[in-house]
Chains A and B, each alone.
Chain A
């Protein structure tokens, strides 16, 4: 299948905004404002405005939706960059058109993860100074300090990666780009020389390699789950299975995220030729595969906790088995998995829209699962003497607003960035112009 896309198509989103653009922008702005008000309210009155509380004699959970969504955003982020790095490293040309979208999603989602931490803190004003001045010591022992390190590292790596490929694109499309933003482009092209392209290309390759190697080790394969799994007194968290579970959840939700953003662009700018069906087909397949792994890890956890559980594990798994919310999360991953499998084996017709909806299901499922994971860890702490202390956790509207706010910010981020730079690599279109894709998996 050959693509009919022209470089011209890529700058189409950068023209004057259309009606749909304005509507989405307005909605996202409202979402952001709601968050701003809610957060201002929280700053004013303290975290008392949440339903978080002290675990132990207070009967509450001290980490909740904020930490759940932090984990969720990091998951989406690190899967995004993996798609892009894999496309480059393994020359999966099919995915090149979504590579930049994935990179941008990584940058945006990492920022939102960072923001969730800020929102979660009791004293965000002290965050930078307190952390920096003790960093040389705490980096030895505090998983939270490790998180900070790794997220910063990823941010820098992704940013570098993105800018490497961006410079050449901006240079080549320079005359087609809106004049009003000239200063921005001049900045992007600072000391650019077309000869640097092969070097940039090689650097990008090495960075991809670094990302592929580090992502599973550091982000959801390591540092983020370590935040939980190194706590022996929280049976829902403790143990080596936590990391693989996190990684599979991250990857499956990231595929869903990339598909979702790509689909929106495809719809709005009629990019059927730039972002063809086969990309969604492929991403859906990977999403299903990682989702399957996630389900398999869940199964292991349930079996271990149900057959001959230790006293501290038993109540958690028992609750999971009887919790509708948990099964909702499982269903939101399992049903999309079945759907893409049926498509793949030709039992159902392939549908881009259906696959994207399945992806949204997976994203929601992972969000619910992550939040539940955090909360149940704290409700079912090992110290069973606290068991009869009253307590339950349902996020307040204030907490929900922060989730809405981060989603809105991602939307605004994409709306803004798509006016600024081409969000599909020129290379992807050029290559498609001359080559014939073999397609399929």
Chain B
């Protein structure tokens, strides 16, 4: 049993200040002004309506309702009708026609929601117009931008109160309507936006329209990492996970031709094409529409562990035995006064996210799966100081971790990328050359040479479209976890690499340190 007392966030902040002399960062209150930009690209002429009817008659939903909704949504986004008016016109009918559920429904149809996520964000050098902030619960974002072929979480109803159910319902409709408006029904495409052809199919997006969807993610500068595992420690404390559940993890490895230790910080990548979501037989694992965070509904998961098997990153951790009640209570207590819990219609318990799904905090009972939740309780806290932050980000003494909406050029991670780029192209520093062992044939390598900063994503060859962008040394194919020196030793930080065993010790499963084993 570890001593939680000594490892409060306060301690982290102290450590951090000591180590770096930087004051602990706290987010500025984000500008929450509404973005009501009219992004409509299609007029609703009779030709459109005919097309729409034809398409709608092929799907299982009510044709009239779909057409009407789409038309009114367009009016709404053009400011011709008010939100209230829109909702009052359609709420009941929609309720009848669609179930209420915020998780992705049929992945073959709802997938468009993450079709246009972050991943290309960085390739848009200039995105002139402001895009909505991750925590912008405010206004209706311009109605289902047609050009995006199904990029339709358009009618993002504002208020949080009874908003979430309505919002999710409307999203389903938004997807349908926007897909039709664009005349393309974006299908699940594993290669997605990494695929050039696919890019071309998408109608050229004007400024501010392309990345309207929020995709939370990380930019992690691995060269800045000193391997102190403060992030892992902070995560462990923040989420009160069981022993062995290292939702945040730091690899320490050594390259053959380099002396110093290298580090790789490994959270869940909150993929845009997450295999863990596809394989889940019960839809417990889902990608949240609101901000692209990948979550597990603890109340639905049956513990088949298929998500764990399918994820190439090894970020999933099962609750093997009974969880520690104290830890669960501690998580609940520390988060019990988030402002958003007072919102009407939201369960009064921080273990629920704003959609009412039980996804936050540690697994509350044995037999279910967990992993990094992007500190979803912070994102949904209603506290501007916490929204848009994670525990690991806050704890890192060297500012290696940057979190935010990767689709937003003004977000911290995007700004950081810009900053390193400028820094390095100015001084032509050590990052100017491709690193040893670096795959110089990859697209990223070209990008590096042009821009003088190694930037890569982890194992993107599996088509997962990960939403962690790494800056700095990329591990070569020879790299493996070496544990070359003590700072990276988890035990010394009170962290455990092994899950807790059971009293009836079979000589395994216990906390047996770092000796190497396996039937190699």
Tell which of B131-139, B165-173, B296-304 binds the partner.
B296-304
Is there a chain B Cβ closer than 8 Å to A437's Cβ? no
Stretch at the interface among A51-59, A267-275, A294-302, A406-414: A51-59
B481 touches A121 (CB 8 A): no
Q: For the complex, what is the distance from the CA of A387 to the CA of B253, rounded to whole Å?
A: 11
Residues of B within 8 A of A53 (CB): 244, 320, 498-499, 509
CA distance A138 to B305 in the complex (A): 15
A172 within 8 A of B: no
Q: Please, which residues of chain A bring their CB within 8 A of the CB of B500?
A: 48
> Judging by beta carbons under 8 Å apart, are A62 and B309 in contact?
yes
Least CB distance, B256 to chain A, in whole angstroms: 14
The answer to whether A385 touches B479 (Cβ under 8 A) is yes
Are B518 and A45 interface neighbours, CB within 8 A?
Answer: no
Map CB proximity to B onto A377-406 as digits: 1 under 8 Å, 0 otherwise: 011011111111111101011000000000
Chain A residue with minimal CB distance to B280?
A142
B320 touches A121 (CB 8 A): no
Q: A231 and B310 in contact (CB under 8 A), knowing A385-B475, A390-B517? A: yes
B282 contacts partner chain A, Cβ-Cβ < 8 Å: yes
Out of B281, B305, B312, B463, name the residue touching A142 (CB < 8 Å).
B281
Closest-by-CB residue of A relative to B475 is A385
Evaluate whether A142 and B253 lie within 8 angstroms (CB atoms) in the complex, with A46-B319, A48-B321, A388-B480 already known: no
Chain B: interface secondary structure? Answer: loop
B residues in contact with A59, CB < 8 Å: 497-498, 517-518
List CB contacts (< 8 Å) of A144-193 with chain B. Answer: 144-145, 148
A265 within 8 A of partner (CB): no
A384-B107 in contact (CB<8A): no
B255-298 vs A, Cβ < 8 Å mask (1 yes, 0 no):
00000000010000000000100111111100000000000000
Structural contact, B283 and A138, CB atoms closer than 8 A? yes
Among A45, A120, A315, A389: residue with most chain B CB under 10 A: A389
Size bracket of the A interface: 35 or more
User: Is the C-beta of A249 less than 8 angstroms from some C-beta in chain B?
Assistant: no
Flag if B481 contacts A392 (CB, 8 Å): no
The residues of A that contact B318 with a CB separation of less than 8 Å are 47, 54, 62, 122
- Contact assessment for A137 and B106 in the assembled complex, using a CB-CB cutoff below 8 Å: yes
A124 proximal to B (CB < 8 A):
yes
List, in ascending order, chain A residues with CB within 8 A of B284's CB.
130
Q: Mark B479-520, 1 if CB is under 8 A from A, else 0.
A: 111110000000000000111111010101100111111111
Interface check A123, CB cutoff 8 A? yes
Question: Complex Cα distance A127/B475, Å?
Answer: 40
Chain A interfacial positions (CB closer than 8 Å to B) = 45-49, 51-60, 62-63, 117, 120-124, 126-127, 130-131, 133-134, 136-138, 140-145, 148, 231-234, 311, 315, 319, 323, 378-379, 381-392, 394, 396-397
Q: Which B residues are closer than 8 A to A by beta carbons?
A: 105-108, 244-246, 249, 251, 253, 264, 275, 278-284, 300-306, 308-322, 366-369, 459, 462-463, 475, 477, 479-483, 497-502, 504, 506, 508-509, 512-520
The 9 closest A-B pairs by CB, nearest first: A122-B303, A56-B314, A122-B367, A48-B321, A233-B312, A46-B366, A130-B282, A48-B320, A144-B281
